[in-house]
């Protein structure tokens, strides 16, 4: 006898064997026990969730001579003939290839004849959404008022394509996606029966890859067993057969993306390509990895929700501290779009590499959700440059600074307070308001003499006279106020001003929200420049 695929060999023959659809099984069993059987049923749901299987079991149950608790006995002549496919009472029709009006007319003619054996004639119409509009119309009357011995069971994966006139005449049952735990438990049972040694991690990965379909899970398991026939099926074996990638690779890839290290990211892609990994699967799995990371980032106690090991969960919790929610949402959007594009692409690697470069360089995008990431990238560069710059303290008169053992008097790396012993800064007289006005007038050139990034922010500031020798610098945002307001930056600005006018000016930094009480005293630079120009105009007759 030729080999039979696992999903066919272990197809359920009784309601008790159906997994993950308890809400439907219980309802159908109660209808059979109470003899409240409907005339038309619509089974809808994703592929491989048991629609056709349940329809066949239901057809056996309503015709069974000795039903047991609403389930077929499997021993009577009717159960055996239906299971063997020789019964004239169960007619299975594929609507994909029999979708015309003539096919439905044949059914209408056949239903006028009573069943030769058993109680009911059951018509199972698979992929019913493929019927033409004319065929649906031809089916309407028969579906609404069939003879008492006829039952219609319609099965579809796309219920939205079914006309409302058909939906209203049927009992509607939604088959849910089967959970990973349910699929994994079922596969373990079957592997014990088949005497195949399989790792639990391998079983769970296959169950996850099946995306809620028991049939897909058994088909993938069959494929993996065949590749490693006679050997123990390990997690790494499954990844190799399916062209998938381990989560450690995703972690490495994400950390390089966060570090904006494009060469290392592309090196990782090169390694995966050379290993023969399926790039479409990589995109889908990495999107799922980002989704899990988002759950870890936004919620607590996610151990029960996430299907990951304790070690992987700890690793993801560490990564969650390295990335912001808006970055994760942007990454998920880009990879979700990529998954759709890669289905029909001929250059999958190019698309993948472009998407990864987008993640590393947010400036490539103009979407609104990339703005925060672009600002963050600029701030990182500024902070990096800030840490590398040695700040200079300039003295009014270098000759007045004593030479402390040959040390260079003009360089200082702290905020001015940590200068070397013996280094004395000369005391300068305080500036008068007119001199502060002069500072306001020439503030742009003064700002150019300060170090980056302070000079950039100073050019966005508004100036106010805060007293005798006080200059108030007010910023429209908290970032500029925080950077310029640092003690070492304030001292640098004061030193530049002192060098320019030879007088001491006290600088006070404020954020616009804190400085609203000084709003009336803001100085417009253009007006200040005009005010210091004394223009005398003589009108001649």
Determine the pLDDT at residue 173.
93
Number of domains comprising the chain: 4
- Residue 350 tokens read as 């190019």
- Give the integer Cα–Cα distance in Å for 128 and 36: 24
Domain annotation covers residue 16? yes
Determine the pLDDT at residue 171.
92
Determine the pLDDT at residue 236.
85
Pair 453, 364 in one domain: no
Pair 24, 147 in one domain: yes
Q: Which tens digit of pLDDT belongs to each residue from 268-292?
A: 999 888 888 888 888 888 898 898 8
Pair 60, 107 in one domain: yes
CATH number of the domain bearing residue 364: 1.20.272.10
Determine the pLDDT at residue 466.
67
- Give the integer Cα–Cα distance in Å for 264 and 253: 8
Q: Which tens digit of pLDDT belongs to each residue from 179-199?
A: 888 999 999 999 999 888 998
Pair 145, 190 in one domain: no
Domain annotation covers residue 411? no
Determine the pLDDT at residue 42.
94
Determine the pLDDT at residue 532.
43
Contact 158, 47 (CB under 8 A): no
Pair 124, 256 in one domain: no
Pair 433, 509 in one domain: yes
Q: Decide the pairing of beta strands 470-475 and 462-465.
A: antiparallel
Contact 25, 192 (CB under 8 A): no
Determine the pLDDT at residue 215.
92
Pair 141, 228 in one domain: no
Determine the pLDDT at residue 414.
44
The residue among 154, 175, 196 that closes a domain is 175
Helix (H, G, I), strand (E, B) or coil at 145: coil
pTM of the model: 0.59
The residue among 175, 199, 233 that closes a domain is 175
Buried b (16+ CB within 10 A) or exposed e, 41-80: bbbbbeebbbbbbbbbbbbbbbbbeebeebbbebebebbe
CATH number of the domain bearing residue 451: 3.30.300.180
- Domain hosting 495: range is 429-531
Positions of the chain with pLDDT under 50? 1, 390-423, 515-541
């Amino acid at each position: 006898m030729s080999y039979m695929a696992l999903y066919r060999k272990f197809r359920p023959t009784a309601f008790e064997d159906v997994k993950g659809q308890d809400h439907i099984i219980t309802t159908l069993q109660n209808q059979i026990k109470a003899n409240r059987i409907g005339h038309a049923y619509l089974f809808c749901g994703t592929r491989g969730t048991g629609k056709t299987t349940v329809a066949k079991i239901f057809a056996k149950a309503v015709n069974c001579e000795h039903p047991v608790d609403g389930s077929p006995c499997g021993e009577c002549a009717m159960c055996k003939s239906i299971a063997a496919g020789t019964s004239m009472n169960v007619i299975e029709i594929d609507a994909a290839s029999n979708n015309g009006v003539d096919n439905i007319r044949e059914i209408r003619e056949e239903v006028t004849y009573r069943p030769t054996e058993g109680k009911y004639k059951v018509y199972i119409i698979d992929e019913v959404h493929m019927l033409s509009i004319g065929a649906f119309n031809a089916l309407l009357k028969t579906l609404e008022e069939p003879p008492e011995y006829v039952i219609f069971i319609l099965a579809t994966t796309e219920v939205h394509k079914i006309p409302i006139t058909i939906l209203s005449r049927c009992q509607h049952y939604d088959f849910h996606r089967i959970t990973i735990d349910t699929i994994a438990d079922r596969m373990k049972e079957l592997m014990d029966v088949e005497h195949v040694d399989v790792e639990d991690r391998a079983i769970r990965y296959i169950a996850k890859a099946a995306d809620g379909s028991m049939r897909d899970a058994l088909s993938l398991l069959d494929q993996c067993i065949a590749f490693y026939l006679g050997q123990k099926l390990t997690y790494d074996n499954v990844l190799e057969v399916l062209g998938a990638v381990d989560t450690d690779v995703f972690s490495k890839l994400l950390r390089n993306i966060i570090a904006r290290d494009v060469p290392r990211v592309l090196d990782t892609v090169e390694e995966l390509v050379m290993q023969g990994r399926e790039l479409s699967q990589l995109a889908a799995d990495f999107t799922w990895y980002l989704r899990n990371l988002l759950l870890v980032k936004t919620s607590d106690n996610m151990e029960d929700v996430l299907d990951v090991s304790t070690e992987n969960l700890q690793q993801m919790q560490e990564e969650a501290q390295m990335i912001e929610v808006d970055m994760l949402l942007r990454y998920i959007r880009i990879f979700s779009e990529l998954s759709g594009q890669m289905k029909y692409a001929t250059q999958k690697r190019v698309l993948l590499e472009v998407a990864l470069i987008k993640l590393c360089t947010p400036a490539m995008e103009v979407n609104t959700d990339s703005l925060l990431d672009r600002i963050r990238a600029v701030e990182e560069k500024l902070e990096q440059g800030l840490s590398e710059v040695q700040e200079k303290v300039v003295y009014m008169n270098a000759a007045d600074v004593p030479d402390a053992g040959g040390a260079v008097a003009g360089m200082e790396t702290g905020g001015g307070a940590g200068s070397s012993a013996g280094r004395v800064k000369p005391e300068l007289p305080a500036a008068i308001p007119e001199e502060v006005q002069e500072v306001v007038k020439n503030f742009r050139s003064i700002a150019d003499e300060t170090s980056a990034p302070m000079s950039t922010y100073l050019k966005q500031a508004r100036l106010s006279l805060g007293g005798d020798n006080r200059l108030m610098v007010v910023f429209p945002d908290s970032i500029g106020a925080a950077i310029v307001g640092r003690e070492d930056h304030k001292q640098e600005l004061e030193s530049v001003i002192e060098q320019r006018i030879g007088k001491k000016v006290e600088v006070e930094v404020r954020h616009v929200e804190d400085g609203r009480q000084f709003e009336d005293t803001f100085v417009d630079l253009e007006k200040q420049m005009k005010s210091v120009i004394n223009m005398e105009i003589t009108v001649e007759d």
